Structure 1
Amino acid sequence: MSVRIPGVTYANIVDKIVVHLGKPDEPAENVTINFIDYIKNVASSELYPTWPEEALRANIYAIVSITLNRLFTQWYRAQGYNFDITNSTQFDQAFVKDRGTFENVDEIVNEIFDEYIRREGNIEPLFAQYCDGRISQCDGMYQWGSVDLANQGYTPLEILQYYYGNNIEIVTAVPLDTIDGSFRGSPISKGDSGVDVLVLQYRLNRISNNFPAIPKIPAMTGYYGDFTEAAVTQFQTIFKLNPTGIVNRGTWYEIRHIFNAVTKISELASKGLSQENISRQFSGITIEGEATPRVELLQYFINILSAFYASIPSVVLDGYFGPETRTAILEFQKTMNLPMTGLVDKTTWDVLFRSILGIVTTIPPSSLSVPLELLDIADYPGIDYERGMGTEYPGVFVIQELLAYISSNIPDITYVPYNLIDGVFGPITESAVITFQQYYGLEPTGIVDEITWNKLVEVYRNLRYGESIELQLES
């Protein structure tokens, strides 16, 4: 339980932190990263996700406290350095550039990243030294010892007091009063007003372009009224947060994350990857030095994934498999636990494609506008799609996305569940195509030829965007 004493100054949570990738006097790269992402990175580098939650929380409190101590005291900058902290465990704590993080660790960090340890009567965050307790010992917390204490029923505060003394407390930091994207501190809810609410409204309206189930906020006035509450609630529902309509820390940072992701994806989509390239069959192995349409598709998929995986760098969409693309493939393979070859064989391609599906198919079609915004499907790709075609034909995925949305709006068309979209033209897809063709007076072949393709796009656009075409079959 964190406490706040009226009239006492607390440490500030900054939005960014500069990390030196080496010892203080060692020439090394400096990395600027969001504070919360830094904490997640360190926690995932220092801790094991299988540890009891109480031990994880105690250790994360220590990680936050050490970080804030370095920032609060300007420890390194006061010595003339141009960074805030190092990734040397000899001096600070572990940080691995571009590493992935653990989901349960992320959830805890989202909740407590702005809480830290201090001694009673002090303002300064405690430099809560810790070590593993097996290979190395220190005058602070033993990480494996915290696991033992958690298994004995100790609470996070009791674990911390065991190592640092009974005169410590957990307090909540005060975020900086800026509009740099940091959470303001207290939950934002109906009836509130101010710059925070205006930023929130702007981001939600932008996100709703890609997730139309989130209702638009008609007037962005900076006042948290019924429309803003409805948009927040729907956002929380889609992204599996508690749908309270109140913006707490977790909701605020998830909104910021999704806003950044959809903005980046829209920039990628505007580059105009052609349907011909998207529908091109994958074959063989893609290697460094190759310049083919499938390389452009490969780069496009990498860039979409880079918006969701910090470990995967974005690349230039130029259709050339150069060193930059190879490095991105290596990072993708590392992230997905594949052999790190830097080559794109069928296994790597299949995992890449499934990863793209994983992003866009975890959201119901009523909540996500993917095909027309990410894939330029206005023109027929020149391929007749039929039962038996698989993931080597990305157009099958497009067809399933269209049918999933259309069938969720028109009951007479066989429903394609969004969670069964797999890029494989199977019996459910075929049945949906046949009933779609019957509904619109087309020959019910179950094959998506040019006529059926164009009708699918037409109907989808009308349902999604309200274009003025007649949906119902005229008698």
Structure 2
Amino acid sequence: MQTGYPFIPESITVHLGNPNEYARNVTVPFIDYIKNVASSEIYPTWPERAIRANIYAQISYALNRIYAEHYRKQGYDFDISNSPTYDQNYIEGREIFDSISNIVDDIFDSYIVKQGSAGPFFAQYCNGTTTVCDGLSQWGTVYLAESGYIPYDILRYYYGDEINIETDVPVGSLKDSYPGFPLKLGSSGSSVKTIKVQLERIRKNYPEIPKITSYNDLYDMETEKAVKEFQRIFNLTADGVVGKGTWYKLKNLYNSVNKLGQLASEALTYEKFRPLYEEALKIGSQGIGIKTIQYMLTMLSYFDPDIPEIEVDGFYGPQTESAVIAFQTKYGIPPNGIVDPVTWKALNDRYVKLINSMSPQILQGKASLYPGYILSLGTRNKDVENLQTYLATIAEYYPWALDVEISGYFDNETYDAVKTMQRQWGLKESGVVGANTWLQIATLYDQLITQQNF
């Protein structure tokens, strides 16, 4: 999968048979593929609301197969099979119903996401008569539509309340994430950067892996050493070469330790995704990405007089631009006042370095500073333990807050407690803890502790 915000691919490669059987592959425009699948699986006489709900599910299912590289990481050269037993029913050359075609034209650039995720949701479904499953029932959607349910409510009925529909998603070309050749000592390029980032994240859960200190695009001896240890831990040939097997093992482990996927989907949380990979942040921008960089700049300004203190208001105005320019000038980045991935990476690195160097005594019993990365389901460390301490303390004072066990493990109980906090403060109910959510929780905790001391 190409790095960047998920988009609608121009085409999809379909295997005309069961995944393991010999059959032709065909590459067809993605929009035509969805029209074919919808015409093969549902009836044009169904209520339009039911048809739309089904097509949303079919789009999301196909996109999940593509973005998770479900088949390509197993060595296959296709994105999806046409077997209803395994995937979706694509019939080469079949007639397309006009009513279905028109609906696909309208919504083909939309898909289902879980709240807090950016990647396509694995929208499992079945016909609901000859086969049943935990996901959407195709015939069941007809009953719901006839009962007055709109498409979104139909989807929520089957997939839960914590889903959204991404709309107006751009169309782009897609390629296999594996670069097509082994990466080894002396290699360079964006793929090398990718494995460095993944190794360093995996290292948080597997500390035996040597630390990566340089995130340039050169495959150096430090990278080779980390790769060899990763291969040793996961019973791969420990040769320090990232071939296809090691590449996809890294990909799978990275997804697993982040706990950000839905089934096989490899998604990034919005709080982490937008500042890193969406359009550059600049004058006029607003939102959670802006609050994150403002928070980090403000913390740096406490210790660095060259960086002016700014207000954390979520709007990229002249004050924020001046602070960004000061930061860029200080650290040798072209001072254009725009937070692109290079500036974001440098800002995050400096912030993390700062908080790691601070003595605990500096905080004087107050909440810890934001640790510089997203806390989410499955994370297990001291930062989660601190977060749970703050949540449990808040729950002692506020009846609307949910109490949690202080275990250091980000479990479903912690997830629900975080969502409750986010709902109370009007934040996006993602259940993950980025800079803004951490700041709100930590600030309230500090206020309560201060009251206790008087």
Q: Would you call these one fold, judging by a TM-score over 0.5?
A: no
The TM-score by the shorter chain falls in which range? 0.3 to 0.5
TM-score computed with the length of structure 1 as normaliser: 0.35
Structure with larger Rg:
1
Higher relative contact order (CA 8 A, sep 6+): 2
TM-score computed with the length of structure 2 as normaliser: 0.37
